[in-house]
Amino acid sequence: MDIRARSVELTISLSALRHNFLQAKRAANGQKIMAVVKADAYGHGAVEVAKALSTSDNRTGTNAVADAFAVVCLAEAIVLREAGIQQPILILQGPTSVEECRAAAQLHLWPVIHDLSQLKMFAATAQAKTLQAWLKVDTGMGRLGFSLNDAANILASPGHINWFGVLSHLASADDLDNQFTLSQADKFNTAFNSVGLQRSLANSAGVIGWPACASDWARPGIMLYGCNPIHSDEAFSTPVSTGIEHSKKTDVFVKTEAIVGKPELKSVMQACAPLISRKRLEAGATVGYAQTYCAERAMDIALVAAGYGDGLPRVLDGTASVLVGGHVCPVIGRVSMDSIAIDLSNAADAKVGDQAQLWGPGHEIGIWARASGTIEYETMTSIRGHRCYIDE
Instruction: For the chain, give every domain's residue range.
Output: 31-255, 269-390
CA-wise closest residue to 138 among 96, 171, 175, 173:
171
Query: What was the pLDDT predicted at 232?
Result: 60
DSSP string, 83-115: TT--S-EEETT--SSHHHHHHHHHTT-EEEE-S
| pLDDT by position in tens, the chain (length 392) | 566 679 999 999 999 999 999 999 999 999 999 999 999 999 999 999 999 999 765 565 558 999 999 999 999 999 999 999 999 999 999 999 999 999 999 999 999 999 999 999 988 887 777 889 999 999 999 999 999 999 999 999 877 788 999 999 999 999 999 999 999 999 999 999 999 999 999 999 999 999 999 999 999 999 999 999 997 654 444 443 333 333 332 333 333 344 456 899 999 999 999 999 999 999 999 999 999 999 999 999 999 999 999 999 999 999 999 999 999 999 999 999 999 999 999 999 999 999 999 999 999 999 999 999 999 999 999 999 999 999 98
Q: Specify the DSSP class assigned to residue 193.
A: T
Q: Which residues pair with 254 in a beta bridge?
A: 245
Q: Which H/E stretch holds residue 357?
A: strand 355-359
CA-wise closest residue to 214 among 188, 240, 252:
188
Identify the CATH number of the domain defined by range 31-255: 3.20.20.10
Task: Please enumerate in sequence order all residues whose Cβ is within 8 A of that of 157, keeping only pairs 6 or more positions apart, or say none.
Answer: none
Compute how many other C-beta atoms are within 10 angstroms of the C-beta atom of residue 132. 18
Q: State how far the Cα of 221 lies from the Cα of 229, in Å rounded to an integer.
A: 10
Task: Please enumerate in sequence order all residues whose Cβ is within 8 A of that of 196, keeping only pairs 6 or more positions apart, or say none.
Answer: none
Task: Please enumerate in sequence order all residues whose Cβ is within 8 A of that of 295, keeping only pairs 6 or more positions apart, or say none.
Answer: 281, 282, 283, 284, 285, 286, 287
Question: Are domains 31-255 and 269-390 of this chain identical in fold?
Answer: no
Residue 223: helix, strand or coil by DSSP? helix
Which residues are identified as catalytic?
38, 289
Task: Please enumerate in sequence order all residues whose Cβ is within 8 A of that of 153, keeping only pairs 6 or more positions apart, or say none.
Answer: none
Query: What was the pLDDT predicted at 260?
Result: 52
Confidence (pTM): 0.91
| Domain formed by 269-390, architecture | Beta Barrel (2.40)
Instruction: Confirm if 225 and 269 have CB atoms less than 8 A apart.
Output: yes
Instruction: Confirm if 75 and 82 have CB atoms less than 8 A apart.
Output: no
